[in-house]
Structure 1
């Protein structure tokens, strides 16, 4: 497996702990903030987001393999080049919070152990989101 950068071993360990039933939210959040993740780029190097039920999600990945799995699930085009950036989880959080639309972060969303950090939603936003 190709390692992307520092902090991923700790993040994978904390994600594994959650899936095993004994995760600690504060440790998971800290590991996420300190991990360098792959983030797909589109167009003019804009961060790719996926909209699900009125919420935008930044899709981030712990490895090139996880990113490739996601692209295959989406229907990757063989002759197209797909770009990504390596960003700290804490930086993704700041970027998501600064967006005008509610935006969360999804890690390895089609992998064996996906994790999501949803955005904080106001009552006004919650009322406008369709289930």
Structure 2
């Protein structure tokens, strides 16, 4: 997945390959501590972004960037391992409002956003789906 993200960010990638790799990749999604163990997410631009990571090292960089790393107040971060396809096809439809996936958000040169648009999330959840498209689901 990291190679496809790098290729896409450098302009030499192909969006179809990137999306295919995303769907086939097992992602680590941290669980929120405060809301009964739901998936950790953040809000930006009117979209809920579910945080997902390609490996434990990427998740650890996120923990450190949030200031919740090593030290006396450190906690163990629980996470869900889930295929990218299952995350967008089964989980996102259960979330209220526009929802996308933010992969490896603590990696400035290795992060990638998968927004809630047609071709990434189910059409019924896509912000750019027209009324005809949504009814076809």
Which of the five TM-score ranges fits, normalised by the shorter chain? Answer: 0.7 to 0.9
98, 103, 106: which one aligns with 1:102: 98
Separation (CA, whole Å) in 2 of partners of 1:19 and 1:122: 23
* 1:45 corresponds to 2:37: yes
Separation (CA, whole Å) in 1 of partners of 2:76 and 2:48: 24
45, 50, 57: which one aligns with 1:58: 50
| Structure 1 moving runs of 4+ over 2 Å | none
**More contact order relative to length (CA 8 Å, sep ≥ 6):** 1
The alignment partner of 1:92 has SS state of helix
Deviating more after overlay: 71-80 vs 83-92 = 71-80
* 1:121 corresponds to 2:127: yes
The count of residues paired between Structure 1 and Structure 2 equals 113
Deviating more after overlay: 48-57 vs 114-123 = 114-123
TM-score (norm 2): 0.75
Query: CA offsets, 1:52-97, max 9 Å, x none?
Result: 1321000000111111111111120633221111100001112113
Separation (CA, whole Å) in 1 of partners of 2:16 and 2:103: 17
What displacement does 1:122 show? Answer: 4.9
TM-score (norm 1): 0.78
Q: Larger strand proportion, structure 1 or 2? A: 1
3, 17, 35: which one aligns with 2:25: 35
Taking only aligned residues, the RMSD between alpha carbons, in angstroms, comes to 1.7
